[in-house]
Structure 1
Amino acid sequence: MFLEKIKSPDDLKKINKQDYPALCGEIRRALVENVMKTGGHLASNLGVVELTLAYHLVFDCPKDKIVFDVGHQSYVHKMLTGRYEKFSTIRQMGGLSGFPKPSESEYDAFAAGHASTSVSAALGMARARDLLGEDYNVCAFLGDGALGGGMVYEALSDAGTSKTKLLVILNDNEMSIEKNVGGMSEYLSRLRTAKKYLHTKDSVNNLLSKMGKAGDVAKHAISTVKDAFKYSAIAGGVFENLGFTYIGIIDGHNIEMLTKVFERAKELDGPVLIHTFTKKGMGYESAETHPEEFHGVSRKATIITKNAISFSSASGEILKSLALQDEKIVALTAAMGAGCGLCDFAKKFPKRFFDVGIAEQHMVTTAAGMAAGGLKPVVAVYSTFLQRAYDQLIHDVCLQNLNVVFLVDRAGIVGEDGETHQGIFDLSYLSHMPNMKILAPTTYKELEQMMKYALYEANSPVAIRYPRGAISLDDSLPDFEIGKACVVNDGYDAAIFAVGRMNKIAKSAVKILKEKNISAAHINVRSVKPFDMALLEEYSKKCKLVFTLEDNLVNGGFGSYLAVNSNIRNFVNIGWGDEFIPHGKARELFEKYGLDGKGVAEKIENALNNL
């Protein structure tokens, strides 16, 4: 076993070249064995084994800095920087993070979790190096999917004109989470196709070389035309025009070639972009054949049973049904069509489905334009990614009071992806936006009624937030009504106003409190904004204390919204504290932070005792 002996990249450099293939095989086996158990990003890491190995053979980390984009491709880096022994704990509570994390290791130069940020961060580090008179290399490592986000072009434009010594490795595997879309994706495809020209050129050169002097004359005569064609077809003109020295396209699985290119890049001044081409899922047949299915692998324990349906699938199913009756309904997503349950919609209505790539800001403003043009746009997006379009939400949607519907998926704790993906901020940043309505379903029936309301009655922006996981099929609750909460259980000691998934926890807490002779009312909020202020006032008079329960930060969340907009003062807010919540199973996190049924019951009992 080579991996067991690698405690740092220095150990890697002691391995004989002829053993590199065996080491790569070990790494891939370790990836498959562990990620299939813990869940995580498998296909992308299988594709960057040789590329990561070559980088660490040439560069001197942690002195030299590597900044990952998103971080989906950082698992091999973790293995080669002293974390192999802990790799089985990846994405588990108390174990390794699934993303680069400086607090975890000095080899992780910068935290990541969202796309298109690496060049900006790396450029900042390079400028800091120069201003402080230090000497080290800085590398931004990004996939071609990151080129779907506008921020990366701002960074490339700045870096290219700065003349700052900076290395950008573009790992081109034709995919991000799903198949890449957009003009840059097509441009890279043309570069890959044009690479075939190199093979033709080599063949012609070999033939002419065998012709002696006549061949030399012929080669010289065609050199101008050949070079012009090579530049236009191969040389990455877009990147060179931005100011980068472009090197590519390099076989991302050829360690010898990669190390030579990296050594050359180290000697060049100014910004350099190395364009490599890799196969996503390399070395694992299933992942090679279906890379989109093995991009993010779920733990077996999280797979939803055949008798249940996820919130994501339910929203897609309902949307497709509504779109069959209304040709004005369109759906938008930012490279998350499958994750947000829109695959069937996309197949049924290909002209009404828009995947804009990893470009949330563009997506939100495009949806605003569609609404202004008379369509009914529905934006399906994860909570953690929607926050990237904060300005567009305010200025392009809410300010104009446009009827854009946001299906805010993965709201609240998502679990193993950790700090960068926990959706615990959306109630805070959406609730203070004028004109925005916020709804939180718990059942299929509620979700369907909320979507119909949002599309046909709201006449304003509407965000419908729901968690990752299975949706309840219970249809016994009263019909949804905007601005009205639903009393699930009555009580007189305490009243719990619960948002979304927290209704399940509220139900558990009420049961525990009952065993302690504490009578607790349970109210399903459903309509966060506008809120049922009349019901809140009723229970504030009826009960000793009123509690808000939310899967969101307490700061600026649902409870804070009520504190500002009501005259009620006898209530306590329960939610996530003023900190970033680490990775771990959702159940474990709720227990650890006292937000499970038992923890909530204890908080309520203590608050009542302290009156």
Structure 2
Amino acid sequence: MTLTVTSTPLLDTISSPADLRQLRPDQLEQVARELRQDLLGQVSRTGGHLSSNLGTVELSIALHYVYNTPQDRLVWDVGHQTYPHKMLTGRRSRMPTLRQLGGLSGFPRRDESEFDAFGTAHSSTSISAALGMAMAARIKGESRRAVAIIGDGALTGGMAFEALNHAGDTHANLLVILNDNDMSISPPVGALNKYLARLMSGGFYSAAREGAKSVLKHTPLYELARRFEEHAKGMVVPGTIFEEFGFNYVGPIDGHDLDALIPTLQNLRERSGPQFLHIITRKGKGYDLAEADPIAYHGPGKFDPAVGLQPAKAGAQTFTQVFGQWLCDMAAADERLVGITPAMREGSGMVEFERRFPQRYADVGIAEQHAVTYAAGLACEGLKPVLAIYSTFLQRGYDQVIHDVAIQNLPVMFALDRAGLVGADGATHAGNYDIAYLRCVPNLAVLVPADENECRQLLSTAFAHNGPAAVRYPRGSGAGVAVLPGLATLPWGRAERRRKRTSTSTSTSTSTHSSRADEALGLSVAVLAFGPLLYAALEAAEGVDASVWNMRFAKPLDVEAVRQAALEHDLIVTVEEGAVAGGAGSAVAEALSQLGLTRPLLHLGLPDQFIEHGERGALLSACGLDAAGIQSAISDFIRRATLAAASKTSRETSA
């Protein structure tokens, strides 16, 4: 049933896990009801991850009830399911600030709370980190425990299996909890599993098993007994693979049943060596609408829980939607196209493509490295793979981009969604570095469309290119430019001039001596804009009478456009929604150096720091990348140049 709790008397008494551990076990079900209701109310007012968090309410309670946190370490994989954990660890009062500028993060952060043992947001990292913590405790002679909580999706990542392989050979006091929310348990099976879980996690089962092994070790019956144990367990629990990794497997059990979870965790906490607990949970648990459609409620915006999500109002197309439509159109025109996603079908706009072209669609799971090399293999056989991937996640396949794609100059196309700042998800998901980390790779082109229509055109341009190419575009909509049909391409490596300065006064170079400061204010300015910030640059240009180029390509850079801008103007300003360090502005500086042209350069982009979570527009403004910020930065630069020129002239006159 949909939740109906309206007050939270027990939850109100909990400001830390120490308070939770003072409660009787029979009070915890009420805590779970109150926590789930409060969670639903909070997220409906702020937006954020909902389905995953509704599914981990009981698990969060049980872990903090059994384990001595924060001394015992909890590492949550991805971390988008940690809202209940945050609310139980002293952060409930800050939930109204969730994912807002200066507010509570949507993911675990070490600098936010001592209860966040490890910062997460990308998947498949928890077992490695928790194993490191468990081994550190062993090396330091400390008795604390480490727990990794990982979902069935994240467990598909190769890094998770690398960690399992290592952990099973360490004898570390590590518990891995598989939060499996893609299955359901019928009541009879659940009761049996609860019984088996208690039995197998307890000391009697362990002692009996080890005792039997000791007795039979040197007899012909040992191998028979070992095989019987594996097959007998395998018939009732799918744990043989984890046993082979060296873990003691327990489960599966109902992850919403505190009467099963708590005694099982209590038993496992006393066990030494690697332990593996398999629990079954339900995304959206306790809220009918989220249970029925957990994908829709995975990361909703603000909504009324009594009504549920409403259809979005028609508006400007998002870049993701532009890509999704282009992908279908290009696939219809070219049967060589194969679409690939590493578990981001909805986020990357590939739902319709999968429906229309199922034989040419591949979701490889959370396996970015495999996705890149898989695409390379397809390209070797004459196909044209398009890997739709978030900019932040391509970082995880960087070696494969270089080694498997670029060195072999294979025609793999990367559609980089969420390039630049992403807003509420913060630094872990921001695509701030792709220009810098891709443009240094030989053979690899980097295309940066300024608006929705140009995005479609540059997607076609990259697809037609006989070599690796990446097209980067941001989350959400752009300038609202109408998207034209067709699959037209744009000239390769060519920029376009979008505005010419209107002043007819003679350009004054900063190297020219002048005794009049107001003459220096006549510095002519050329703005080279990379990507959607073109429109903010155009607006800013009106205030400083600057010429503006839409660069379109971070690589290959239109060197002729750079030359023209430098020859006709005194100051070159580069604007990009990416890291300044090594970014497109750096490419312009390198080109000017190669051309032997010296001009003052002002690089506007993201600073050398991790940008916090918050609304994207506010973040851009804080970084000085809105129209007002760009205009102010240019004016301030000219003012400083004016003062420097005046000071130099004064010194020369005095001399």
TM-score by length of 2: 0.83
Shift in Å, 1:202: 8.8
* In 2: Cα distance, 1:484 partner to 1:446 partner: 13
Q: Which residue of 1 aligns with 2:537?
A: 506
Residue identity in the other structure for 1:230: A
1:227 and 1:480 mapped to 2: Cα distance? Answer: 65
Q: Which residue of 2 aligns with 1:336?
A: 344
CA distance in 1, matches of 2:250, 2:62: 16
Q: 1:29 aligns with which of 37, 40, 60?
A: 37
Structure 2 match to 1:396: 404
**Which of 619, 627, 636 pairs up with 1:606?**
636
Match of 2:557 among 510, 516, 531: 531
Are residue 162 (structure 1) and residue 170 (structure 2) matched? yes
Once the two structures are aligned, what percentage of the paired residues are identical?
42
Deviations 1:39-96 (A, max 9, x none): 2110001001001100000011111110111101111100000000111111011110
Partner AA of 2:22 in structure 1: K
* Number of equivalenced pairs: 570
Q: 2:221 maps to what in 1?
A: none
Paired residues of 1:4 and 1:84 also in contact (CA < 8 A): no
Q: Following the alignment from structure 2 to structure 1, what is the Cα–Cα distance between the partners of residues 227 and 581?
A: 64
1:83 aligns with 2:114: no
How far does residue 232 in structure 1 lie from its aligned partner after superposition?
2.0
- In structure 1, the residue matched to 2:508 is none
* Structure 1 residues 483-528: Cα deviation after superposition (integer angstroms, max 9, x where no partner): 11111111272111111121122122123x2xxxx32112111122
* 1:464 equivalenced with 2:459 (yes/no): no
SS of 2:315's equivalent in the other structure is: coil
1:48-67 → structure 2 map (5 Å cutoff): 48-67=56-75
The structure-2 alpha-carbon separation of the partners of 1:601 and 1:225, relative to structure 1 and needing over 3 Å to count, comes to closer
For residues 201 and 562 of structure 1, the distance between their equivalents in structure 2, rounded to whole angstroms, comes to 64
2:148 is aligned with 1:140: yes
Cα distance, 1:173–1:475 mapped onto 2, change above 3 Å: closer
CA RMSD of aligned residues (A): 2.5
> Larger deviation: 89-98 or 129-138?
129-138
Counterpart of 2:459 (choices 444, 451, 460) is 451
Counterpart among 233, 247, 252 of residue 249 in structure 1: 252
Give the partner amino acid of 1:585: E
1:216-250 alpha-carbon deviations (Å, 9 max, x no partner): xxxxxxx9999565322215000000000111111
- The residue number in structure 1 matching 2:267 is 264
Q: Which 10-residue stretch deviates more, 561-570 or 579-588?
A: 561-570
- Is 1:127 the counterpart of 2:144 in the alignment? no
Residue among 81, 105, 128 paired with 1:73:
81
2:557·2:587 contact (CA, 8 Å) conserved in 1?
no
Tell me, in whole angstroms, the C-alpha distance in 2 between the residues paired with 1:305 and 1:507.
29
- Does 2:374 correspond to 1:366? yes
Counterpart of 2:584 in structure 1 is: 558
Q: Partner amino acid for 1:145?
A: G
Q: Which amino acid is 1:449 matched to?
A: Q
Displacement of 1:326:
1.6
CA distance in 1, matches of 2:365, 2:286: 27
2:232 aligned residue (230, 233, 252): 230
Following superposition, the deviation at residue 563 of structure 1 comes to 2.0
d(CA) in 2 for partners of 1:303, 1:498:
35
Q: Is the 8 A contact 1:424 1:551 kept in 2?
A: yes
Which residue of the other structure, out of 114, 118, 126, is the alignment partner of 1:110?
A: 118
The reply on whether 1:325 has 2:333 as its aligned counterpart is: yes
Q: Following superposition of structure 1 onto structure 2, how do residues 365-444 of structure 1 map, counting pairs within 5 Å? A: 365-444=373-452
The aligned residue for residue 481 of structure 1 is: 491
Deviation, structure 1 residue 303? 9.4
Match of 1:574 in 2: 604
The structure number with the bigger radius of gyration is 2
Are the structure 2 counterparts of residues 380 and 321 from structure 1 closer, same or farther at C-alpha, using a change threshold of 3 Å?
Answer: same
Q: 1:587 aligns with which of 610, 617, 624?
A: 617
**1:561 deviation in Å?**
2.1
1:257: how far off? 1.3
Counterpart amino acid of residue 297 in structure 2? F
How far is 1:198 from its partner? 7.5
Structure 1 unaligned segments of length 5 or more: list them.
Answer: 175-188, 204-222
Q: Which moved more, 1:346-355 or 1:565-574?
A: 565-574
Q: Distance in 2 between matches of 1:105 and 1:290?
A: 32
Q: Residue 3 of structure 1 contacts residue 84 of structure 1 at CA under 8 Å; is this kept in 2?
A: no
- Compared with structure 1, are the counterparts of its residues 48 and 200 closer, same or farther at alpha carbon in structure 2 (3 Å cutoff)? closer
Residue 382 of structure 2: SS of its match in structure 1?
Answer: coil
Distance 2:355 2:539 in 1: 41
Change (3 A) 1:508 1:29: farther
Q: 1:299 to 1:555 in 2, by over 3 A?
A: farther
1:5 shift after superposition: 2.2
Q: Are 1:70 and 1:114, in contact at CA under 8 Å, matched by a contact in 2?
A: yes
CA spacing shift, 1:475–1:296, aligned 2, 3 Å: closer
In the TM superposition, residue 28 of structure 1 has moved relative to its aligned partner by 1.4
Distance (whole Å) between structure 2 residues aligned to residue 559 and residue 224 of structure 1: 64
Aligned residue type for 2:550 = N
Between the aligned partners of 2:17 and 2:193, the Cα distance in structure 1 is 38
Contact 1:371 1:404 in 2 (8 A): yes
C-alpha distance 304-235 of structure 1, shift in aligned 2 (>3 A): closer
State how far apart, in whole Å, the 2-side matches of 1:69 and 1:246 are.
19
CA apart distance, 1:16 = 3.3
Is the Cα contact below 8 Å between 2:318 and 2:452 reproduced in 1? Answer: no
Cα separation, 2, equivalents of 1:24 and 1:348: 43
Q: The residue matched to 1:550 in structure 2 has which SS?
A: strand
CA–CA distance in 2 between the matches of 1:13 and 1:404? 54
- Native 8 Å contact 2:445 2:470 kept in 1: yes
In terms of mean alpha carbon deviation, does 428-437 or 533-542 score higher? 533-542
Deviation at 1:470, TM superposition (A): 1.3
Q: How many angstroms apart in 2 are the aligned matches of 1:303 and 1:88? A: 24
Shift of 1:147: 1.2
- Contact residue 554 and residue 587 of structure 2 kept, 8 A: no
Contact 2:562 2:591 in 1 (8 A): no
Q: Which runs of 5+ in 2 are unaligned?
A: 1-7, 197-224, 304-308, 504-523, 642-655
- Are the counterparts in 2 of residues 384 and 423 from structure 1 also a CA contact under 8 Å? yes
Which whole-Å deviations, capped at 9, do the CAs of 1:539-582 have from their partners, x for residues lacking one?
11211211111111111111112223432442211111111111
Aligned equivalents of 2:590, 2:87: Cα separation in 1: 49
Q: CA deviation at 1:200?
A: 11
The more displaced of 11-20 and 257-266 is 11-20
Q: Secondary structure at the match of 1:528?
A: strand
The structure 2 residue matched to 1:490, chosen from 481, 500, 510, is: 500
* Alignment-derived partner of residue 289 in structure 2: 286
Deviates more, 1:536-545 or 1:91-100: 536-545
